[in-house]
């Protein structure tokens, strides 16, 4: 290939230019996102059965559904929440599970599950981005109904049609409804049961078929229509009673009202509606956000009525800023690296010949991005930026070899020099590529991040290898480094090498001690799933008592929001209540609220934390807390990021509760504050105790009576009323607890009696929700994160030390579980990478001694990377761990160049020490240049500090620290180890030769 490239220069130029052109075209076709596609679909079953208690639901439907779902492949956990009248079962799966296959298989297993059919059973799969790409607020206007009308009739349809738009959630809608509130006393006085009233109102605004009428030669449909066009007409609607008929206005109050649905939303104290727009799978987040902003701008001038539209959150801004900063970091790295090359080569010709390889390799790699569907995101571009410093390494070594051949008078230095170094270049490049081979064994979030970075590095390095063996020799024909280059520090290096050769064991001992100290530093480094950045936002969470009315919930929630606003005066406030994270609002979730506070800087946010914590502690009867708002990068990973949880379970609820309290106490003794969360909200419930003797005398069935009571207490949508141009739903409100005693119920004989004459109604405490995990009652303890609190691995050790019974269990949840699994996979990947590198080098050099020599610098490099993390205050997280894996490939790439030259000189007959000196002097400059270009390429990644810096800084820091120490090992320690093992190799070679001579047949 090398000879062909040199013999056909025009074809080589055309081929290289074609690869670059195709890659450039592919670049503009790539989707743009914030993070890699992180799919963790959840299968959710929502059950509505108003006629069933929580115990009936649990045994009759929830447990059978759990048994059928628990054996599904890729099941991570199975949780359920059961309360009177409804249940929710959530099956969480592993990362990157196929959502369509999950939907098909789970739905198939649900067929025939349970002892009864609920009134409603919704089955859905949730997944995709856990946070919206862009959020649009609808503020102002004459009323919430006007805002809701604009959202439902105009904004939603327009945005839903935009390319790339996925699901759209709405919060804070208050549609106008006709509300009918029955008066229990009036119903009882006229003998009307709530069920009969609901049946009568269900026909309002509906049409029904009454048969067919023959008219001459035609047969026409007879349609009965009960249209109501005003509140007065609705009040005059006659309702059948035991005494004849009576107008609806005599039985209930009627009003036009805005009925909140889907929670509430406030922006800086102003009530409004919020649209949360998610991107569809594979869509371009930046393009979607741009189209939404354009649509909002186009609609802003046509809203009228004082309504205004405002984009309150746009995560694409962070995407663009992060990608722009990554591009700047890559450019700065290339620029500084080019200047270093210019200084060391002494001329611009060879410098540009080397520098052209970097953009050519990067652009060519975009072709592979397009073919395999890899988007441009923070991880893939970080991989390209990390590879940027390595892309020129192969060409540097090739150019140095060509210059050496030219200096020795070779007739065709480009061909001679390239062929001499080709094996080392190919082996060193293959070893880096081999490092990423273990990703085929990874799964989940580790594979999503490690896989994208691996793909970016492998594709760009593969292109670099191709260009270094074809384009670089061709350019070297027209350029020459001459004698004007520089090898800074070469004299000092030679002097140090001589000292090391004289005192090898002192140097080797110092290297071992330095490596050991550095590796021990891992014990002092904090471990977390992903690095956290200083946040300019705070999140105030609160949960009100579960048994409050909607009016009281709104009153208290508004009061809390005002107090938070007063505590953080001048900050921007976004408040959501009722619907959190896009979930459907239920009665006992209406009191859950989240208030996001955005400050001008991270320092202002830190200053406000004590005030907000003091406010949270002062809220009597309210569970509240303050946490930093995660960056968009961490937020996209879901709620698990930053949350350490311990989940305890036992065969029954009493033992599970006792175990949770015991675990909490034991952790507290060890200095770990763990708060019990989601333990099943307690409250008071009204119990109906039937007078059995009275029911028997009246021959009444309790089931029939319970159905009538339920009809009075469960709000329902009835008919429709047309008022003006509006077609409004009719809502039949529930009766209040004060009216329960006079709820009219019908007997078999047609009598209507008040409920109080048939039962006693008392108030008693009761847990509203029964929570289960993996088919057993479970409680969750959440560990408060504070300075000095344990990391996930330390918490796991503490939990494992707690003694429990055989039928009880304790496990980590949230980020603790993610860290445990991700680190286990990355450790496996690291060990497999080292093994594969060893085997690759052994096969390339037909030796089992050369691989340990080449890999001797890896422990020194890893120790340097860990020490750099400790000194800079970085954590050991998934990104820095990936940096350590990448580091092993880079170090081997740099070391193999020196070892290969020593082996060549030894094979040519030079003595060991002379071979070391000559190879070290010859390879010093290329090793120094490759190290400096890689370091300088990564330095901007570690220093530039805006959006997304937390994901790349720890990775770049680990690589920079490792490269610094590995350079010392490559240039000094590795040659000494080669010298120490050479006598062993010589004796083994002599013994093998003697054996061959002894076994050789005699020659006459």
Helix (H) or strand (E) holding 601, with range, is none
Cα(917)–Cα(936) distance, rounded to whole angstroms?
28
Q: Which of 17, 3, 36 is nearest to 637 (CA)?
A: 36
What's the pLDDT at 1000?
41
What's the pLDDT at 948?
59
DSSP characters over 340-383: HHHHHH-SHHHHHHHHTHHHHHHHHHHHHHHHHT--B-HHHHHH
Cα(584)–Cα(565) distance, rounded to whole angstroms?
27
Exposure of 982 in the CB half-sphere (CA atoms within 13 A) = 18
CB 262 within 8 A of CB 579: yes
Q: Which of 127, 86, 84 is nearest to 106 (CA)?
A: 127
Name the β-bridge partners of 182: 252
What's the pLDDT at 991?
43
Name the β-bridge partners of 124: 44
Range 500-509, long-range pairs (CB < 8 A, 24+ positions): 500/972, 500/975, 500/976, 501/913, 501/916, 501/976, 501/979, 504/976, 504/979, 504/980, 507/972, 507/973, 507/976, 508/973, 508/976, 508/977, 508/980
Cα(463)–Cα(458) distance, rounded to whole angstroms?
9
What's the pLDDT at 583?
39
pTM over 0.85: no
With tokens 């040199």, the residue in question is: 6
Q: What is the mean pLDDT of the chain?
A: 79
Q: Which of 739, 555, 764, 626 is nearest to 182 (CA)?
A: 739
What's the pLDDT at 990?
44
Alpha helix segments (H runs only) across 747-877: 792-800, 815-845, 850-855, 857-871
Token pair of 52 as six digits: 């069933």
What's the pLDDT at 999?
43
Residues in the chain predicted with pLDDT less than 50, given as ranges, are 580-588, 639-640, 680, 988-1004
CB 556 within 8 A of CB 596: no
Q: Which of 461, 446, 455 is nearest to 373 (CA)?
A: 455
Burial of 786 (0-12, 13-18, 19+ CB in 10 A): exposed
Exposure of 749 in the CB half-sphere (CA atoms within 13 A) = 6
Q: Which of 228, 229, 234 is nearest to 250 (CA)?
A: 234
Gyration radius (Cα) of the chain, Å? 37
Q: Return the ∠ at Cα 457 (arms to 456 and 461), rounded to 5°.
A: 120
DSSP 578: S
What's the pLDDT at 201?
84
């Amino acid at each position: 290939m090398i000879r062909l490239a040199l013999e056909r220069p025009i074809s080589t130029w055309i081929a290289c230019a074609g690869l670059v052109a195709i890659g450039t075209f592919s670049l503009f076709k790539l989707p743009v996102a914030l993070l890699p596609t992180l799919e963790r679909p959840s299968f959710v079953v929502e059950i509505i059965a108003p006629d069933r208690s929580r115990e009936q639901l649990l045994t009759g439907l929830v447990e059978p559904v759990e048994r059928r779902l628990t054996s599904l492949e890729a099941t991570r956990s199975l949780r359920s929440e059961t309360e009177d009248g409804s249940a929710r079962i959530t099956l969480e799966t592993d990362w990157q599970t196929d959502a369509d296959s999950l939907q098909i298989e789970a739905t198939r297993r649900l067929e025939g599950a349970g002892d009864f059919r609920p009134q409603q059973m919704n089955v859905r799969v949730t997944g995709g981005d856990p946070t919206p790409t862009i959020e649009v607020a609808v503020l102002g206007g004459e009323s919430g109904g006007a805002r809701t009308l604009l959202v439902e009739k105009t904004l939603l349809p327009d945005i839903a049609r935009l390319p790339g738009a996925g699901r759209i959630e709405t919060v804070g809608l208050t549609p106008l409804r006709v509300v009918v509130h029955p008066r229990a006393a009036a119903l009882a006085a006229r003998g009307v049961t709530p069920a009969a009233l609901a049946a009568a109102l269900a026909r309002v605004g509906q049409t029904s078929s009454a048969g067919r009428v023959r008219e001459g030669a035609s047969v026409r449909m007879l349609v009965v229509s009960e249209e109501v066009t005003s509140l007065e007409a609705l009040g005059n609607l006659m309702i059948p009673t035991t005494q004849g008929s009576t107008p609806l206005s005599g039985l209930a109050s009627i009003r036009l009202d805005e009925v909140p649905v889907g929670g509430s939303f406030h922006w800086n104290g102003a009530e409004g509606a919020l649209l949360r727009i998610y991107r569809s799978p594979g869509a371009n987040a930046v393009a979607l956000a741009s189209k939404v902003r354009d649509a909002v701008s186009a609609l802003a001038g046509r809203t009228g009525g004082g309504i205004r539209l405002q984009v309150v959150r746009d995560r694409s801004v962070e995407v663009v800023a992060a990608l722009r900063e990554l591009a700047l970091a890559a450019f700065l790295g290339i620029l500084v690296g080019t200047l270093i090359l210019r200084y060391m080569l002494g001329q611009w010709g060879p410098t540009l010949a080397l520098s052209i390889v970097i953009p050519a390799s990067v652009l060519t790699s975009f072709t592979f991005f397009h073919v395999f569907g890899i988007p441009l995101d923070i991880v893939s571009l970080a991989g390209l930026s990390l590879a940027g410093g390595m892309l020129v390494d192969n060409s540097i070594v090739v150019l140095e070899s060509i210059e050496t051949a030219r200096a020795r008078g070779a007739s065709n230095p480009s061909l001679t020099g390239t062929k001499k170094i080709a094996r080392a270049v190919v082996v060193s490049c293959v070893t880096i590529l081999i490092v990423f081979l273990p990703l085929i064994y990874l799964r989940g979030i580790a594979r999503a991040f490690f896989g994208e970075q691996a793909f970016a590095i492998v594709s760009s390095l593969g292109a670099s290898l191709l260009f270094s063996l074809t384009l670089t020799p061709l350019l070297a024909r027209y350029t020459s480094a001459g004698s004007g280059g520089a090898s800074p520090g070469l004299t000092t290096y030679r002097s140090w090498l001589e000292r090391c050769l004289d005192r090898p064991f002192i140097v080797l001992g110092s290297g071992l001690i330095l490596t050991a100290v550095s590796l021990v530093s891992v014990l002092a480094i904090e471990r977390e799933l992903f690095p956290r950045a200083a946040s300019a936002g705070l999140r105030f969470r609160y949960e009100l008592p579960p048994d409050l009315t909607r009016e009281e919930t709104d009153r208290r929630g508004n009061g809390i929001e005002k107090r938070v606003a007063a505590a953080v005066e001048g900050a921007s406030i976004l408040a959501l209540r009722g619907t959190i994270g896009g979930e459907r609002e239920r009665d006992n979730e209406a009191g859950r609220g989240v208030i996001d506070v955005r400050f001008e800087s991270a320092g202002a946010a830190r200053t406000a934390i004590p005030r907000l914590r003091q406010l949270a502690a002062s809220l009597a009867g309210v569970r509240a807390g303050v946490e930093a708002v995660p960056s968009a990068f961490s937020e996209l990973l879901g709620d698990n990021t930053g949350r350490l949880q311990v989940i305890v379970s036992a065969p029954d609820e009493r033992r599970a509760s006792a175990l949770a309290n015991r675990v909490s106490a034991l952790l507290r003794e060890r200095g770990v504050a763990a708060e019990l969360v989601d333990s099943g909200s307690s409250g008071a419930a009204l119990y109906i105790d039937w007078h059995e003797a009275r029911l028997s005398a009246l021959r009444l069935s309790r089931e029939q009576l319970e159905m009538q009571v339920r009809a009075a207490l469960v709000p329902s949508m009835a008919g429709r009323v047309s008022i003006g141009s509006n077609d409004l739903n009719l809502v039949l409100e529930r009766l209040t607890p004060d009216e329960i005693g006079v709820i009219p119920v019908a007997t078999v004989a047609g009598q209507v009696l008040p409920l109080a004459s048939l039962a006693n109604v008392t108030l008693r405490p009761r847990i509203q929700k029964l929570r289960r995990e993996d088919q057993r009652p479970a409680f969750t303890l959440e560990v408060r994160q504070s300075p000095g609190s344990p990391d996930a691995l330390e918490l796991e050790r503490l939990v494992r030390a707690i003694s429990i019974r055989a039928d009880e269990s304790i496990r980590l949840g949230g980020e603790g579980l993610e860290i445990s699994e991700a680190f286990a996979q990355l450790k496996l990947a690291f060990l497999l990478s080292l093994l594969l590198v060893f085997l690759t080098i052994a096969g390339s050099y037909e030796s089992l001694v050369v691989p340990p020599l080449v890999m001797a610098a890896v422990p020194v490099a890893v120790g340097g990377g860990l020490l750099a993390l400790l000194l800079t205050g970085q954590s050991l997280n998934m990104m820095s761990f990936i940096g350590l894996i990448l580091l092993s490939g880079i170090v081997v790439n740099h070391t193999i160049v020196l070892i290969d030259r020593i082996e060549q000189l030894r094979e040519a007959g030079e003595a060991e020490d002379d071979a070391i000196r000559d190879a070290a002097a010859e390879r010093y400059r290329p090793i120094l240049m490759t190290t400096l270009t890689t370091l300088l390429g990564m330095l901007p990644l570690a220093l530039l500090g805006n959006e997304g810096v937390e994901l790349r800084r720890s990775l770049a820091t680990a690589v920079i620290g490792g490269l610094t120490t590995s350079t010392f090992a490559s240039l000094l320690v590795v040659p000494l180890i080669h010298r120490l093992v050479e006598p062993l190799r010589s004796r083994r070679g002599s013994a093998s030769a003697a054996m061959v001579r002894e076994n050789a047949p005699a020659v006459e």
